[in-house]
Amino acid sequence: MTKTLSIDIGGSKVKAMVLDEAGQPITDRERMKTPQPATPPAILAAIKELAGKLGAYDRISVGFPGAVRHGVIETAPNLDPLWKRFRLEEELSALLKRPARVANDATVQGYGAISGKGVELVITLGTGLGSAIFLDGISLPNLELAHHPFRHGKTYEELLGQKALERDGKKKWNKRLRKAIPQLFNLFYYDRLLLGGGNTEHLDFKLPESVYQIPNIAGIVGGVALWDVSAIGAVASAG
């Protein structure tokens, strides 16, 4: 059995778990606070520490909170400027002596929960705002919706990220999210909108038709699909 060490790098926590070939957990989930400052050496050290607690694995998958091209980090708005052009896939593989693949964290979370049919948009609500879009189960990479205008000259992340939630409160944050959902439909005409990330726990309204809340574990179990797309939807298939 091929075992995958799947890592979810977030603005507040780094999480890791070992998965089987179908994306099902075979270890507990280990986590630690994201180091501050969240530089590449600090994050790599955290990953090495977590990996040491999880036993054997054959390959590595990483969900990263920013744009990723060919294993190289393009943006990391909620971590540290030193991530720009950092070759995370290459450096992590050298550190842990295993092959590694890296993708945007919303893409990995989507792989854990999508149906693989039609247009599926994934939005993650956490420290920042992550986004990914899929067509018939195929990721269309590098969608950075967070920094696009939303309302009153502010971006989606400025109005729906963690800072906005803390500053303006849950009531106003939910009101904005209710307005964002139809706007996103008019932009993408999605078949399904999947909402993930830690701040989905603050949702206080009934989601419209074709909009679903997905569990945070999808951000880890989706890592297997970076190696084998037959494992997409591991959360849905398990439940």
Determine the 3-state secondary structure of 36 from DSSP.
Answer: coil
Distance between CA atoms of residues 231 and 221, nearest Å: 9
**Continuous H helices in 136-211:** 156-160, 162-168, 170-188
pLDDT (tens digit, 0 to 9) for every residue of the chain, 239 residues total?
Answer: 999 999 999 989 999 999 999 999 999 999 999 999 999 999 999 999 999 999 999 999 999 999 999 999 999 988 999 999 999 999 999 999 999 999 999 999 999 999 999 999 999 999 999 999 999 999 998 888 999 999 999 999 999 999 999 999 999 999 999 999 999 999 999 999 999 999 999 999 999 999 999 998 999 999 999 999 877 877 755 54
Domains, the chain, with CATH or none: 4-108 (3.30.420.40), 113-213 (3.30.420.40)
- Asked if 156 and 180 touch (Cβ cutoff 8 Å), the reply is yes
- pTM over 0.85? The answer is yes
